[in-house]
Structure 1
């Protein structure tokens, strides 16, 4: 019978408990049996402070697997307006908490100077710091029949010369991409996975895996069979749920991930 690969940890993103804070995320991750936590740098001051994160990590016995830089549209003012400054502070925070990588989004279209040297700037920082910077796939913004390519060089990082990439299954659905094919095509460049489902609408849904139409199971099985060296992070939206529903959803997401992180049985 196929077995869960204990070598692929399943972490909980602090964004999955929003609007609750990082302390709640660590506590919940421990209670539900997650292997670690991904920290989204946000207005919660704990997410910005290495000492506080190390204390939570020790208290709950859970590592910080990744730091997600504050590159969301709603966090543009966090840590100042200079984009590279945000990345550099995120790299330092990740190093201070022993995280395995920094997750970043491609530049917005209006950040033209930042975008012009983004690919090279990511590579340079990886060389100087030794910290993997995993660029995440995004999606066009759509309204009715209109479509805006909101990211530069592109919302899809797979054609750019990045050494490390984060695959977000919900984002792939919103862009109309096949996440399973992306995972296969990325090969060793696939460094980090954001696990969340979608019904394929133009909205970025981040559903509990198994509740949408995306190939979540196939992606997880591919990771197990290829001995993926990174982390699977559950990133689902629970912001409209009460506490009981949120915790049930995140328990279900963890169970789904572990059920499908299976490697093929040896032949014979």
Structure 2
């Protein structure tokens, strides 16, 4: 498995600095969190950053906007993101959120499906796979998107030929048993967003996003070492992305962020190596 760091975890610092920090912390690459501004500037700047820093963009997260986009804007963002990811030489995965719709027939769902179909056509001749991500629940009142269930995600992946990005903190916020879900999803996984889940839930959604979800491995309630061991046992050899809260990393204090990132990467590699040494799989035994 290759360990990445999401640039979204390093919000508030220049992108060149984020790439350099990922390299110094020992990451195998980054997952690039796209913004509208990055898309407008085009992929050439990112390609230059890869060359300057030696840090490849192995995954791209579809455009995230501060305000909730319209249905058509969200669909356009998927296509823009697919073209952006397809242009990057090392990008294996495009992470796309599932639609925020309660049923298959809700308004806008067809628009999302059409966007996924077109994005698949964009990426079919390259190395990038589209991987839909399970979403989290920031507030108890949040609606349940119809695809946000392990069985429905699996059926969608099988029927449409897409992959899955499994987010451990999102799964915990939905009450999923992560040790039960990971082996079921493993054959279709292309990326794992790994982070811990805090012990306290807050009334304000933003507080949950920053202080409960996406915490450093080992600081919350999730058995993440066992999750990684389960991935090893299932023969998974894809991407593991540390998608962490900037608050957990103490961004923008760079020395602290680097130390915390390096420790988190080291912990992940140790758990993977321990599982491999235990003989749970012979898949790529030379790679920790």
- What interval of TM-score do these two structures reach, taking the shorter chain for normalisation? 0.7 to 0.9
Q: Which residue does the alignment assign to 1:231? A: 239
1:187 positional shift: 2.9
**1:9-38 deviations in Å (ceiling 9; x for gaps):** 101110111122321210101111111011
What SS does the aligned partner of 1:113 have? coil
Q: Which residue does the alignment assign to 1:129? A: 123
CA RMSD between the two structures = 2.8
1:141 positional shift: 4.1
Contact 2:39 2:84 in 1 (8 A): no
Q: Which residue does the alignment assign to 1:257? A: 268
Give 1:135-154 correspondences, 5 Å limit.
Answer: 135-142=132-139, 146-149=140-143, 152-154=145-147
Q: Which residue does the alignment assign to 1:69? A: 62
More off after superposition, 8-17 vs 233-242 = 233-242
Aligned length: 254
What TM-score, normalized to structure 1?
0.83
**1:95-146 deviations in Å (ceiling 9; x for gaps):** 111211110111224994332453565356325532421111113342xxx5
What SS does the aligned partner of 1:176 have? coil
Cα distance in 2, alignment partners of residues 49 and 127 from structure 1: 20
Q: Which residue does the alignment assign to 2:285? A: none
Matched, 1:114 2:122: no
Q: Which residue does the alignment assign to 1:166? A: 165
The structure richer in helix per residue is: 2
1:181 positional shift: 1.5
**1:164-214 deviations in Å (ceiling 9; x for gaps):** 111111111111112222111113111100111012544242111111110
Matched, 1:85 2:98: no
Gap regions ≥5 residues in structure 1: 1-7
Gap regions ≥5 residues in structure 2: 202-207, 281-288
